[in-house]
Structure 1
Amino acid sequence: MNTSPGPNGWKTIFLLEELSLNYEFKSFHFDDIKKPPFIDINPNGRIPAIEDPRTGLTLWESGAIIVEQYDTDNRLKFDDMIHRNLCNQLLHFHMSGQGPYFGQCGWFQHLHAKKIQSAIDIYANEIKRVLGVLEIVLSKKGDDEQWLVGNKMTYADMAFVPWNFRLSEVLMQSWDEVFEGTPRVREWHEKLVELPSWKRALEHRVRLMDEQRLQWNGVPKGIETFADYEEKIEKGEMKYD
């Protein structure tokens, strides 16, 4: 279950597509994220959440939804202790570093009711710092090891894609400016976004955004700001065909 605009839910779709798993996609409006039936599945009221009818497992928190039980050939994970822990280390760095800082920068840049340049600068600098950390990790790899861990793409690499994919919009910079000083990160990112599985995930997103009449930032068409959107939700004024 997912809302279409935000990046976190697309990590899960990316994984499902890359592993060629069958799944049913349930997308709903942001208005309903704090209401039943979704709040009954995820009491935190955040997307995504996944229900697995084969195992009876329900999970929320995108970093936890790595569907490793279905990666039986270890295409996106490792079995050995060292590489498994390194993957989890990078996944936690994504969850604690990339997601929160990139999200806050996007909020203050595009959605906050007032422009607070100091807040934008703080989080924009954090984005550059996170990209710098990834540059160090990738720069320590050999020429034949172009991924974050070992010599193959894993769920650790894939987790970074949905947020990095939006950096030009978030920072309001060209891609040359976004990746200035981090050439290995750019090369790594550009390989990931060329994957057919990522392109299929994006096709789903574009279709749903259009069906739900949403602007790129998740605000419905015809509404100027996120604050106006929240006010309409609070008053029960959001109506959909």
Structure 2
Amino acid sequence: MASIKQAVGLAVKPEKPIKLYSHPGGPNPWKVAIILTELGIPYNSEVMDFAQLKQEPFESQFPNGRVPAIEDPNTGIKLWESGAIIEYLLETYDTSNDLSYTSSPEKFEQKQWLHFQMSGQGPYFGQRAWFLFYHPEKNLTSCLDRYGNEIRRVLGVIERHLTKTNKPYLLGDRVSYADLAFVPWHWLLLYKPQIMGEDFPKEWEKEFPKTWAWTQGLEARPSVKKVREERVEAMSKGH
């Protein structure tokens, strides 16, 4: 029934909460949580231990063995990969296009920024975190330098764009899913434990002022505050 409704352009109502498989240590599930919150879609987070992700029944349903993943009882759909989940939620539930642009070129530019977030921001920030906190060999200065420089490069890309457009958001005067996708990875720079050090926010504000102002505006959104509090609570429980 849900697919028929979508085919004729009718809204699917999220009558039952979506199950969001999550983990506090990784930013990607919280990207999805922010989109769910912005759209007013009810959801329940199931916070997983890393070991559970490689066990049954999770791994047979979601073969990548990572989070986020969702189960939507309103449509029967199960998905993994944060970008695919975000696109699904928008197409299924954002019928008023609150977080999306529908005309060219913005329609495609927002996809461009989402792909940049997933291929640039996420991997570089994630590798810096890995070599800083988890890799068994320590003092790998060359690795930390490489990914630290890439983090600065990513911030520089956004800085040049925002300077050129002189707009508050990536696509113009209103927030889109493209902006929100960057938020949880920036938490790794803003809040403890910070992957670039406690002094980096001052460096960020000085060297990339447009990107800093854009980030602070996103941090002030009620949805972002709510989801970050959920993550802090999950971290406090020791997952």
**TM-score band (shorter)?**
0.7 to 0.9
Q: Secondary structure at the match of 1:51?
A: strand
1:33 Cα deviation (Å)? 1.1
Shift of 1:178: 3.2
Asked if the contact 1:8/1:162 (under 8 Å) is kept, the reply is: yes
Cα distance in 1, alignment partners of residues 231 and 154 from structure 2: 26
Which residue in 2 is equivalent to 1:36? 56
| Equivalent in the alignment of 2:236 | 210
SS class of match (1:24): strand
- The equivalent position to 2:144 in structure 1, one of 112, 120, 132, is 120
Query: 1:229 — aligned with what?
Result: none
Give the alignment of 1:123-138 within 5 angstroms.
123-138=147-162
- 2:197 aligned to which of 167, 172, 179: 172
SS at match of 1:192: helix
Q: Does the aligned pair in 2 maintain the 1:171–1:178 contact within 8 Å?
A: no
Structure 1 residues 21-50: Cα deviation after superposition (integer angstroms, max 9, x where no partner)? 111211111121111122122101111001
Identity of aligned residues (%): 44
**Counterparts of 2:49 and 2:184, CA distance in 1:** 19
Query: One-letter code of the match for 1:97?
Result: G
What is the match of residue 72 of structure 1? 95
2:66 equivalent to 1:46: yes
Question: Does residue 85 in structure 1 map to residue 111 in structure 2?
Answer: no
1:103-135 CA deviation, whole Å, 9 max, x = no partner?
A: 001111222222200100000000000000000
The normalised TM-score by structure 1 is 0.84
Which consecutive residues of structure 2, in runs of 5 or more, have no partner in the other structure? 1-20
Instruction: Find the aligned partners of 1:204 and 1:173 in 2 and give their Cα distance.
Output: 22
After TM superposition, where is structure 1 displaced by more than 3 Å over at least 4 residues in a row?
Answer: none
Higher mean alpha-carbon deviation, 124-133 vs 14-23, is at 14-23
RMSD: 1.3
Q: 1:182 aligns with which of 208, 218, 228?
A: 208
Q: Deviations over 1:52-79 (max 9, x none)?
A: 1122221111111111021111110011
In structure 1, runs of 5+ residues without a counterpart are: 215-241
1:8 aligns with 2:28: yes
Q: Deviations over 1:128-182 (max 9, x none)?
A: 000000001111113xx31001321001000000011211401114211234311
Count of aligned pairs? 211
Superposition TM-score, scaled by structure 2 size: 0.85
Q: Tell me which residue corresponds to 2:127.
A: 104
Specify the SS of the correspondent of 1:25.
strand
User: Which of 3, 25, 45 is residue 25 of structure 1 equivalent to?
Assistant: 45
SS at match of 2:71: strand
* More helix by percentage: 2
State the alpha-carbon separation in 2 of the partners of residues 109 and 178 from structure 1: 19
Provide the rounded CA distance (Å) in 2 between the counterparts of 1:150 and 1:38: 40
Distance 1:39 1:13 in 2: 21
**What amino acid does structure 2 have at the position aligned with 1:148?**
L
User: 1:147 maps to which residue?
Assistant: 169
In the TM superposition, residue 3 of structure 1 has moved relative to its aligned partner by 1.5
